[in-house]
Amino acid sequence: MKSYLEKLTARKSLTQPEMEEAVSKIFSDEISDSEIAAFMVGLKTKGETVEEVAGIVEAFRSNSRAFGRKFTGVLDNCGTGGDGSQSFNISTTSAFVIAGAGVTVAKHGNRSISSKTGSADVLEELGVPLDLSPEKTEDILEENGIAFLFAPYVHPKIKRIMKVRKDLRIPTVFNLIGPLTNPIDLDYQLLGINRADRLELFAQVLKKLGRKRAVVLNGAGSMDEASLAGDNQLVILKDGEIVREIVHPEEVGLSLYENSEIIGGDAKQNAAILLDVLKGKKGAYRDTVLLNAGIGIFAAGRADTIQHGIFQAAESIDSGSALDKLETLIHKSKNAERAVI
């Protein structure tokens, strides 16, 4: 670790294998909290490369619980958080709509860190247990087309990193990589990020990680979700090429709403919003989900355009398919084999 800290202090980048080794050492408990903090700050000060971020992600995944079954065509639509918007659980609600449109979704998430309610909080409120065994999670993913992976359970070694990250009180790349560390092998990804200046970096990382298609976006108002308040910046990975696009809600058939109109609350309130959307209630919450789910369906290659993806998202809700995905997840999870967290 000393040699890696010296390299970072000298503003020299680590190779991907070096980064994988360094982060694996952190997981091994051989390294002190002060060394972890120095590593995080040194990397932030130097500026992260694509290879370094990919190395961190691979180290996280290789130190996660074993999810050994191979799937094809799987998407995750987890965002980084940290945008301070206090919005309802947009990506979680959208995940069921995307699944209802026929895309297999391995939804990776956590409890609330920077917002009022995280994906785990709202799903737990709805009756989804967080401590399913990897085998049962894979069964549900195969049978239902959507399953939830609770980050602290699937990554049992991250407690020290989380503690140091919290103690530092300054954001580093470790605040942003959570959505990349899903232990299920993904073909597709919708990644929302609250940093517009990191869009292309993370698109390049997704390319290096082997995603077939992906969208990395920053919403109007610097949200880590697509927003109805104005222009959304997208970086699209498709056929090995990376292109930028601006998506305005009115250009894809949706109305404008201020971000203040999609504020959520505690787990109980956000669960009610999620159910209202999946049951077809009209308004800003639904349209926000349509936009995000539409982009997710597009990212998975199920739609040629985002507008076509939005049409499929509306059909997923209005047909009852999205709500059925949630109800089936709750039913299959309740009597499932449990694990000790």
Look up residue 257 and give its two tokens: 């709403």
Is 264 annotated in a binding site? The answer is: no
Residue 72 burial by Cβ neighbours in a 10 Å radius (0-12, 13-18, 19+): exposed
* Residue listed under structure tokens 């305005």: 248
Is 9 annotated in a binding site? The answer is: no
Q: Could you tell me which residues are beta bridge partners of residue 247?
A: 232
Q: Could you tell me which residues are beta bridge partners of residue 217?
A: 192, 234
Look up residue 217 and give its two tokens: 């976006």
Is 335 annotated in a binding site? The answer is: no
Is 270 annotated in a binding site? The answer is: no
- Distance (Å, rounded) from C-alpha 99 to C-alpha 75? 9
Helix 306-318 / helix 321-334 crossing angle, nearest 10 deg: 60
Is 28 annotated in a binding site? The answer is: no
Is 73 annotated in a binding site? The answer is: no
Is 310 annotated in a binding site? The answer is: no
Is 248 annotated in a binding site? The answer is: no
Is 316 annotated in a binding site? The answer is: no
Is 331 annotated in a binding site? The answer is: no
Is 318 annotated in a binding site? The answer is: no
Is 87 annotated in a binding site? The answer is: yes
Is 320 annotated in a binding site? The answer is: no
- Closest-CA residue to 320 (of 272, 277, 278, 273): 278
Is 82 annotated in a binding site? The answer is: yes
Output Rg (C-alpha) for the chain, integer angstroms: 19
Is 12 annotated in a binding site? The answer is: no
**Residues in the annotated binding site:** 79, 82-83, 87, 89-92, 107-115, 119, 165, 224-225
Q: Which residues are annotated as a binding site for 5-phospho-alpha-D-ribose 1-diphosphate?
A: 79, 82-83, 87, 89-92, 107-115, 119
Known binding-site residue numbers for anthranilate: 79, 110, 165
Give binding residues for Mg(2+) as ranges.
91, 224-225
